[in-house]
Amino acid sequence: MADSKAPSTDPKPASKSWADDDDDTPITATAATSEAKKETDEGTLAKAQTDGATSWMNGSHGLDEPEFDVNVKLADLQEDPNNPLFSVKAFEDLNLKEELLQAISTMGFRKPSKIQERALPLLLKNPPQNFVGQSQSGTGKTAAFLLNILQRVNLDSTSPQAIVLAPTRELAKQIANGCAVMGTMLQDQGLKIFQAVPDPSHRGGKSVEGQVVVGTPGTVMDLLRRKQLSARDVKILTIDEADNMLDLQGMGDQCRRIKNALSQNTQIVLFSATFPQQVLDFVAVFAPKANTITLQVEELTVKGIKQLYLDCQNDEEKYTSLVKFYNLMTIASSIIFVKERVTAAEIERRMTAEGHTVAQLTGALEGAERDAVFERFRNGTAKVLIATNVLSRGIDVRTVTMVVNYDIPETVDGMPDFETYLHRIGRTGRFGRTGVALSFVHDRKSWQGLMAICKHFQVEPTRLDTKDWEHVETMLKGVMRNSRNAVPEIEMDA
Ligand SMILES: Nc1ncnc2c1ncn2[C@@H]1O[C@H](COP(=O)(O)OP(=O)(O)OP(=O)(O)O)[C@@H](O)[C@H]1O
């Protein structure tokens, strides 16, 4: 395939010699790849409740830049009406519990983001109404739905009142930990959070205690079926990554069954960064008469993420270029996304041989092992994480400054997967931070796939050529330097 490709030195994608011939190929996007179908909701859990706490939301872990720099930069961004982080209101205007306001302040949240400002009044309105919310990756959707839950739960009873569903154990645990941080001041009053992810201890038959249950659909459904989880007092059902969850055959069915087990008055809350058109129809059925906030496709990309692509000649050159690339650059933390587990294993082998500390997370791992690998990445012991789409959504690790699309994401039908691309690159550039997304292309199909994705989101990626590593290095150092330079300038403004 590589031979059919004429070398190009023009950074503009449209100038590729083989760029135009198949331009009218029909492109359909679905929210899930086969990998995601296979690899979610797997494994067993070593620990329950909120232990193994990650540093989600509390700003305590090793950021590239000191936290105060980021806050100053954030203040600027939050003044710009066109930025998704902009808002005119203060958290204080939302009539939240004092304990929640205190926690928000301790967490360093100065102002609500646009989605928080717009969603919270609708979410908190009485009588409760269904809600569908879309906002760019890393703009604080989790805090929006957690505040609604924590504001509404009755702490006089420990019976489950809110269920949050997420596609993977990592995301469910991250949300549960975020809920614990945000609910710190309510713990004295009896707030309990239950993690419903695969765990052998659930088999004991013990009833679930906790006003907030956060888990994967399979486990939640299991607990309901075994009558360990009582649906009687549940008044809020929140689904994160809802487009993906409702679109996936297995998980969609489970979500529907969970919803059917709940009272008709349950407030249904759906959030995602993407709601492709074909999903919106069944979203409307799942959450009837919902207050809805959606975005236009051109608003979806996060501006702080610089999108580049590396032009390789063939598959083997992808491996050698990747290793060369990592030997050249110092990157805080990064995630390399691949299509298949076998590629993940091969990259791990080659990078380890070059002396890099890498971790690999795919659905092949069992729960406890999976937790351990992810923790090594989160706490910075391993700087590079090689993952399949299992980690493409929701994961919030602030040190991630680069995402590599080693394989261009595809749907099960082999078409470019717009949504997965957006979610993957959204693992960097979170809440006003800057980041780099580097995609590898090595043949006509991968190149066309990337170009279709970029056309869809109306972005122009910058081309890097493996024949000119000096240019690659200069270019990347420039991008990285620009991110760093932003900080001192802003410091002076402060
Ligand atoms: N108002 C705020 N001020 C400062 N930081 C915030 C605020 N709200 C959320 N954050 C932080 O922003 C980061 C991203 O938030 P979150 O994970 O909720 O994004 P998201 O919109 O759910 O992204 P994704 O679409 O990738 O799931 C988190 O680290 C969170 O602590």
- ipTM of the complex, rounded to two decimals: 0.99
Q: How far is the CA of 476 from the centre of ligand 1 (A)?
A: 26
Residue with CA closest to ligand 1 atom 15: 140
Task: Tell whether the model's pLDDT for residue 367 goes beyond 90.
Answer: no
Q: How far is the CA of 280 from the centre of ligand 1 (A)?
A: 24
Q: Which of 29-33, 126-130, 313-317 has the lowest mean pLDDT?
A: 29-33
Task: Tell whether the model's pLDDT for residue 69 goes beyond 80.
Answer: no
Q: Confidence band (pLDDT; 50, 70, 90) for 318?
A: very high
Residue with CA closest to ligand 1 atom 5: 109
Q: Which of 16-20, 103-107, 410-414 has the lowest mean pLDDT?
A: 16-20
Residue with CA closest to ligand 1 atom 23: 138
Above pLDDT 70, what percent of the chain? 80
pLDDT digits (tens, 9 = 90+) for 424-437: 999 999 998 889 99
Residue with CA closest to ligand 1 atom 25: 137
Task: Tell whether the model's pLDDT for residue 152 goes beyond 90.
Answer: yes
Q: Give the pLDDT of residue 25.
A: 26
Q: How far is the CA of 113 from the centre of ligand 1 (A)?
A: 9
| CA pair distance 409, 422, nearest whole angstrom | 10
Q: Are strands 333-337 and 384-387 parallel, antiparallel or unpaired?
A: parallel
The ligand 1 atom nearest the CA atom of 135: 21
Mutate to test the pocket of ligand 1, among 107, 142, 181, 393 (most ligand atoms within 8 A of CB): 142
Q: Is 230 within 8 Å of 160 (Cβ atoms)?
A: yes
Task: Tell whether the model's pLDDT for residue 84 goes beyond 80.
Answer: no
Question: What value does the mean pLDDT take over residues 56-64?
Answer: 31
Q: Is 141 in the pocket of ligand 1 (CB under 6 A)?
A: yes
Q: Quick one: tokens of 110?
A: 């100065």
Task: Tell whether the model's pLDDT for residue 423 goes beyond 90.
Answer: yes
Q: Which residues contact 214 (CB under 8 A, 6 or more apart)?
A: 163, 164, 166, 172, 173, 175, 176, 179, 193, 194, 195, 196
Q: How far is the CA of 282 from the centre of ligand 1 (A)?
A: 26
DSSP secondary structure of 11-58: SSGGG-TTSSTTTT------S--HHHHHHSS-S--S--TT-S---TTT
